[in-house]
Structure 1
Amino acid sequence: MNATNKEVLKLVESARDLFMRLGIRSVSMDDIARELGISKKTLYQTVANKEELIQLVLDHGMEEDVRTLEHNRTESTDAIEELLNNSRYFVRQMRKVSPTTMHDLRKYYPEIFHGKVEAHQHHFLRQVMENLQRGKAEGLYREDIDPEVIANLYVGMTMMVVDRGVFPALERPLSDILLQHSTYHFYGIVNEAGRHRLQEYLKEEELS
């Protein structure tokens, strides 16, 4: 790979924008080269093929998610504020995603999907579990919840949200479904003190 880090980042961000808006299968390497204003030959000096570019895009997205989740964890006052900020982040991210993007990735690039998406899922699972443990320790989440079980249920349902076989693409946006899912999760885990704290935060800024 002869390109500089800055050139690679520009390529990844341009490709990600096209994939998120239009889907993966419908975007060709010609489209990406045209978007960047370069020749396809120059593009192939940076990446060997479309599969490699998809992997770079997913890696970049995961790194961004990890940084955001860690920032929200360290900067939040409590577990509820952390989870609210994480939920807002993912709802807003999903507003940028074409309904066909996840479908294309799962159907036409299954090895990449299972390798990259499942790695992301495992990190997300650990983060959710730690948030549940934090909320219990802070006296804001119900004492009777099992963080491991609830975290697996939450992450499993999140994956179901992006399964367009369960929620057909034309019926409603992914972000709307994810918003409903997050609200359902919040009110299932908070205790009375947590409910009051949650409502105070929501008065300041809605979940969406």
Structure 2
Amino acid sequence: METYNYAKVSGVLGGMELTEDQQKLVNSARELFKRIGIRSVSMDDIARELGVSKKTLYQLVDNKEQLVRMVMAEQTCGDLKVLDQHRDEALDAIDELLRNSRYFIRSMRSISPTAVHDLQKYYPDIFHSRVKDHHQVFLDRVKDNLNRGIAEGIYRSDIDAEVIAQLFVGTTAMVMDRSVFPAHERPLSLILHQHSTYHFNGIVNEAGYERVKTYLQQEDLS
């Protein structure tokens, strides 16, 4: 099972490490984008948040679009590190899947629906490129989890890991599409909760179902 360097895989950062000042910039911008949305946050807002001049800010990044790309790449790199950790620490495939589901559900709860909407509407190239970059990497993670669960005797032996992984990753992308699930109707965290529940109920066998119930009694998905 391969551990990915997302920055290198995606090419968004060209495989280069961020400087300390660029990392502070990305961290500040990410928090502002999550709370307020992307469109409403100006470079002046970010400069004030960092306590630097706009001139200094533009020595770290060329423009807002580049900053958005850097934030998205760093976020996904962080996501993948968490998934690697869950894979290595989980007791079994179900434990791994539940850990991952909790992580994304709780992450979505801290993100303003406006942020996802803004990314899709005002930065469509970045949005679609992020979906594309996610696809193969997360596809491999899901496929590995399915094969692990089958080998452990807790997932159905008749499922095709390749097909189910494609379906899961494809429907996850659909969940993030705000034209399919408008932000005002229901939070993304609730949709992801339903999506995860639907997935593991479809892949576990009887023994796996009992184990899911046991794990959820110890800690639920919310």
- Report the TM-score range of the alignment, normalised by the length of the smaller protein: over 0.9
Give the residue type in structure 1 aligned to 2:206: E
Equivalent residue for 2:78?
Answer: 64
With the length of structure 1 as denominator, give the TM-score of the two structures: 0.94
2:154–2:207 Cα contact (<8 Å) kept = yes
| SS in structure 1 of the partner of residue 178 of structure 2 | coil
| SS in structure 1 of the partner of residue 162 of structure 2 | helix
| SS in structure 2 of the partner of residue 45 of structure 1 | helix
Correspondence 1:85 to 2:99: yes
Task: Work out the CA distance in 1 between the residues paired with 2:119 and 2:71.
Answer: 12
| SS in structure 2 of the partner of residue 24 of structure 1 | coil
Task: Work out the CA distance in 2 between the residues paired with 1:149 and 1:161.
Answer: 18
Give the residue type in structure 2 aligned to 1:189: I
2:168–2:199 Cα contact (<8 Å) kept = yes
Correspondence 1:99 to 2:113: yes
CA shift at 1:192, angstroms?
A: 0.4
Query: How does 1:149-168 map onto structure 2 within 5 Å?
Result: 149-168=163-182
CA shift at 1:146, angstroms?
A: 0.9
Equivalent residue for 1:134?
Answer: 148
Task: Work out the CA distance in 1 between the residues paired with 2:102 and 2:186.
Answer: 18
| SS in structure 1 of the partner of residue 60 of structure 2 | coil
Query: How does 1:1-208 map onto structure 2 within 5 Å?
Result: 5-208=19-222
Give the residue type in structure 2 aligned to 1:176: L
CA shift at 1:63, angstroms?
A: 1.1
Task: Work out the CA distance in 1 between the residues paired with 2:144 and 2:220.
Answer: 24
CA shift at 1:204, angstroms?
A: 0.8
Task: Work out the CA distance in 1 between the residues paired with 2:153 and 2:147.
Answer: 10
CA shift at 1:101, angstroms?
A: 1.8
Task: Work out the CA distance in 1 between the residues paired with 2:64 and 2:46.
Answer: 10
Deviations 1:22-51 (A, max 9, x none): 211111111111111111111001101111
CA shift at 1:120, angstroms?
A: 1.7
CA shift at 1:52, angstroms?
A: 1.1
2:131–2:173 Cα contact (<8 Å) kept = no
Regions of 4+ moved over 4 Å: none
Structure 1 gap ranges (5+): none
Give the residue type in structure 2 aligned to 1:109: Y
Task: Work out the CA distance in 2 between the residues paired with 1:22 and 1:146.
Answer: 41
Structure 2 gap ranges (5+): 1-17
CA shift at 1:107, angstroms?
A: 2.1
Percent identity of equivalent pairs: 62
> Cα RMSD between the aligned structures?
1.2
Deviations 1:159-194 (A, max 9, x none): 111111121111111001101110111111100010
* Equivalent pairs, count: 205
